[in-house]
Structure 1
Amino acid sequence: MSRLYDTVEPSVIDEDMLQRAVEEQGPKEEAGKLAKAEGIDFNDVTNLRLDFKNILKIDNLWEFTNLVKLQLDNNIIEKIEGMELLVNLVWLDLSFNNIEVIEGLGTLTKLQDLTVYNNRISRIENMDNLKDLQVLSIGNNQLTELENLVYLRKFKKLKTLNATGNPFCENVETYKQYVVAYLSHLEFLDYRLIDEQSKVAAKEIYAMPIDEIIHNEEAEERKQKENEIKQKELQIHTKAYVEYLDGSSLFDSMYAEDSDGQRLNEMPGVDELLAGFKEKFLGVCQKIFEYGLSENEKRQAEVNQFWECVEEAKTENKEAGMKIIGTFFEERKRVLAELGTITDNQVIDDKIEAYQSQINELWDKLMSLELQLVDQLEDVIKDFERNMQEMVSTFLENVKAHLTQCRDLENMHHERMMEISIVTLEKVIKNELDDEITEELRMLFVDKDTIIGAVSSSHDLHLLKIDNKEDDIETRIKNWLSAMMEKIRNEEEIKRNRVRVVEINHQIDHFKEEIDNLDFLQGP
């Protein structure tokens, strides 16, 4: 598969090559001269041909973010790379190169037509994100396993496949039947239309293995949907700051790094105690979880109501402004009509002066209306922030109260564990538990100080985990509220106000320029 020009010095995709390619493919004659003189922004280029350039490495294409079609065929490229930012690419030709692995296409989610014909590819892979792929040309490569084609079943939009010239095509009949059977959504194979008779015949031959594949695919699809549902639920739970509190996550975390606690749980008589402790602990966590979800719904309802109030205020203000401008346009139309019929310069000057006063009055009215809206929105924002702060404070108070219950349960459990530990120590000293405890557990019962230290250390670690959960919930919800209010004030309202002031001034300037130029024939 080597090229005649492989012995030539490899070319580099640099600024000069790209500039020449863009100019060669850009507008011609006068338009081309103008474009060349002014310079062409690579970001504006949608089609680019870099074929027959003896290119070894794909590089320096990061500016072509709006590229739709890219030709890199007939080069000496060895690796697919450097195209991460070409996210708008629809058509890509990498044929007649030295590529061995399909890779580097993860961000090209809009790709519909991919050609890697005549390379050194031995496996179809790494294309999972190409959901819109419709045409794939991968002929004249080194594909040996027909089973690898099953990978293409995931591309439901794939209608055209060219795979001829690969080793697995040696038995043409088997190859075609296999492809038609397993890729039933194909319409064209190796540039030929697949007729219905061929589909039926192929399906009969491979009925059993295909049924198994379909069964597995359906099972995988169900699993994927279940995972998606779980992820969506987790997102809701996380947004409510109570993720995993509907299970044993917090309880398990208390013992995850507590090696002493794990060993102490092996003491005789602890099983029943631990089971009761866990049941009550998880009951409190479940209450926090349910309360968190309920409060999250209330917060979201408050947020939605706030934005409805904002939109309502803006709509009413806009309608009032349009009414004022509509009245002005009527007056403008009358004034301009009169000016067109008056010949006395003094009268014209008086009319223009009066009209300019009306323009200034219009500016005053529109700016007053905008200031009125600013004040109105400021009041709405203040009320919203006050309500949200109260909701967050109430939420945190209740969560802390529940977590205090968890601490109380831990304290009571700690006291019982301490009592059992002392009793167990006495029995160990008397050699009454030789067959009932492990050697690792026995190491904690050296003396009273050691066992008390182990129980206390376990207790402190458990309390720390509860404290960390409380701190995490408090920090996250406060950060959420702070970020939201910051965005509302600085990004939403200030930006809106600036845009509106610019619009008003631009409109007033237009009216003033119009009368200054005596452009009486222009309509509103």
Structure 2
Amino acid sequence: MLNPCKEREPRVIDNALIAKCIDLQYPKGEVGRLLRLEGIPMEEIQQIRFEYLYILKIDHLWVLKSLVKLSLNNNFIEKIENLESLVHLKELDLSFNKIAKIENLDSLVKLEKITLYENLIEVVENMDQQVKLTVFSIGKNRICNKENLNYFRRFPELTSLNMAGNPCTGDTEDPNNDIRLYVGAFLPTLVYYEYIRISNSEREQAIIIHDEALKLLEKNESKEIEEKAALAKELRDAEIHSKMFVEHLNNGKLFETMYERDVEGKALLDIGEEVTELYEEYKAQILEYSKQVFRIGERHYNSRNQELDLFHKSVWRAKKDNQEESIQYMEKLLGTINEELFPDINNCKMQLEHDAITEDEFEEKIKTIRNTFEDLIHLTWKNLMRLEVTLFEQVEEVNTAFGQGLGEMINTFIEEVQGVFTNIRAAEVTYSETLQDAAIRFMTAANVNPEEEDIPASLTEILIDRDTLNNAMAATHDIHMQVIDSREDVLIHRSRAWLEALITELVDEEIARDRYKLLEINHFLDIQREEFDELATESGTLYTEEYEI
């Protein structure tokens, strides 16, 4: 006998509970009994209900990989979690729980219906990926600000919304605070609010009442859309620039990086106008050299892409021609088998059936037909294998030549880039020497006329004496050189690593294709043998003869 208290104890989801809930979903009677005997694997279950089960935590649902509809209502769940594997989920019911925050739904991009009725949620958030959302219920929560409703403007397919019972939807006779009119104005695609259709007259009245606020929101949204578009473009450009190996070299990023850890270099700028002008000139030089590297990367990237396109088209054409020739050999074999050998076998079987020939004569004729068949199979195998070996050798040769050509292109790219980086290092040496001269003059003047030259606080520890200044200059120069060298090394390493990875990928792909093709050839010929053996069977006895290709 079940213990009622035991049944009401808080629990988590495990295999036993899942099995129990699946069992409850079977229909009653004989149909249910037969379905239980057959069983449904957990990974094939498409919908399940965990209702009124005192569940504390969502867990273990990864075993239900095909789940489309999930109900977890009327439990004690406090957090939305462990749902990321349910990528096919379309309906999710978490109503009547203790959830305080909408979260962890990013991977559930197919969700169409979400129910969070009667929880503890204060903010509508973290649902940007649910672009297919059509029905959303979040009534009886703790949402105080009706501007949370503006969040739903990002869901173009949302047709039904329920917010009833939240603090922000309190009843009022003031039309400016009427939540239904607010929804009608700010959610133009919404059809039903609290399951009641929004009429055209309500919509018109709502737009009149909220006209100014709506225009301001649309203006802000327009600005936000532009910012998002700019950010998306920046990310796309960054991805392309990364493939060029010259990311962030079309702006001042390299120069900024040189000064990120250079405390002494920043302090020396306080010497005055002479150093400031020198700094600005140096900055402009580094930026121009960086852009030179970027342009080199862009030019070589386009050249590499052209070579890649030509290469892929050439290989594709060779594979296509090879495939067409292979098909001709296979069709020729099938034509001979179906139009000549199979009719001959059927004719022999008919003669045997009508006692026109004896069994010995039948076997002799079948043996002759089989020999012809095996000769055809062997000839086809030889032709198909010859084509495949030829193609493999051709592609291997093309891959080698292509790799060598790309290698030369990468080397040329690196040489051109190294030339510019040499200029960058020369500019750094010149700047460092000129800056040191200016600093020495400033320090000397300050020592001679301490009343006229006021040393900034940032320079008091640097301009103590010439040795201290020289050490500071050496430190700033070393930092700049390390940044320059590091950026050059990264560029060279990534370009060569890309080449190596590409060539390895091409070789691996061709080996895999060749192996698959060999299996395909033998599988095709095995099927023909099976069909021949099946047709050559007479009175349940199969006449076969060992044959090796």
TM-score (norm 2): 0.89
1:224-373 aligned at under 5 Å gives the runs 224-268=228-272, 269-333=274-338, 334-342=340-348, 343=351, 344-345=361-362, 346-373=364-391
Q: Distance in 1 between matches of 2:182 and 2:172?
A: 10
Q: Which runs of 5+ in 2 are unaligned?
A: 352-360, 539-549
**Separation in 1, partners of 2:129, 2:100:** 20
1:467 corresponds to? 485
Deviations along 1:307-350, whole A, 9 cap, x unmatched? 22221111111101111111111111111112211343212211
Quickly say closer, same or farther: Cα 1:144–1:440, change in 2 above 3 A: closer
% same residue: 33
- The reply to whether residue 378 of structure 1 matches residue 396 of structure 2 is yes
CA–CA distance in 2 between the matches of 1:478 and 1:31?
Answer: 65
Q: Distance in 2 between matches of 1:348 and 1:27?
A: 57
Q: Deviations over 1:428-463 (max 9, x none)?
A: 331357434313313222222111121122112211
Q: 2: CA distance between counterparts of 1:24 and 1:189?
A: 34
Letter of the 2:224 counterpart: E
**Whole-angstrom distance in 2 between the partners of 1:520 and 1:203:** 82
Q: Give, as a single letter, the amino acid of the residue that structure 2 aligns with 1:242.
A: V
Could you say what secondary structure the match of 1:92 adopts?
strand
Per the alignment, in what secondary structure is the counterpart of residue 114 of structure 1? strand
Letter in 1 for 2:254: L
- How far apart, CA to CA, are the structure 2 residues paired with 1:420 and 1:462? 18
Give the number of equivalent residue pairs: 517
| Farther-moved stretch of structure 1 (85-94 vs 275-284) | 275-284
1:5 shift after superposition = 9.5
Contact 1:260 1:454 in 2 (8 A): yes
**CA positional deviation for 1:221:** 0.7
Partner of 1:411: 429
Tell me the equivalent position of 1:52.
Answer: 52
| 2:438 paired residue number | 420
Deviation, 1:283, is 1.6
Instruction: In structure 2, give the amino acid aligned to 1:289.
Output: F
Is 1:144–1:168's contact at 8 Å kept on the other side of the alignment?
yes
Q: Deviations over 1:205-225 (max 9, x none)?
A: 111111111111111111111
Cα distance in 1 between the residues matched to 2:25 and 2:251: 62
Deviation of 1:422 after TM superposition, in Å, equals: 3.0
1:132 Cα deviation after fit: 1.3
- Structure 1 residues 39-76: Cα deviation after superposition (integer angstroms, max 9, x where no partner): 64322222122223222211110122221111112222
- Give the Cα–Cα distance (whole angstroms) in 1 for the partners of residues 91 and 46 of structure 2: 11
Deviations 1:435-492 (A, max 9, x none): 34313313222222111121122112211111001101011111111222222222x2
CA distance in 2, matches of 1:30, 1:311: 58
Equivalent position to 2:182, from 178, 185, 199: 178
Displacement of 1:178:
1.4
* Selected match of 2:198 from 194, 199, 204: 194
| Structure 1 range deviating more: 43-52 or 224-233 | 43-52
Residue by residue over 1:175-210, the C-alpha shift from the partner in whole angstroms, topping out at 9 and shown as x without a partner, is 211121121210111111111111111111111111
In the TM superposition, what is the alpha-carbon distance from 1:27 to its structure 2 partner?
8.1
Distance 1:184 1:296, change over 3 A: same
Counterpart residue number, 1:498? 515
- Report the equivalent of 1:121: 121
Residue 514 (str. 1) matches residue 531 (str. 2)? yes
The aligned residue for residue 139 of structure 1 is: 139
Q: Provide TM-score, normalisation by structure 1.
A: 0.93
CA distance in 2, matches of 1:58, 1:212: 41
State how far apart, in whole Å, the 1-side matches of 2:437 and 2:99 are.
71
C-alpha separation between the residues in 1 aligned to 2:127 and 2:430? 57
Kept in 2: contact 1:131–1:157 (CA 8 A): yes
Amino acid across the alignment from 2:289? V
8 A Cα contact 2:345 2:535, kept in partner: no
Answer yes or no: is 1:398 the counterpart of 2:398. Answer: no
| Distance verdict in 2 for CA 1:307–1:179, change over 3 Å | same
Taking the TM superposition and a 5 Å limit, the aligned residue runs for 1:85-124 are 85-124=85-124
Distance 1:28 1:308 in 2: 61
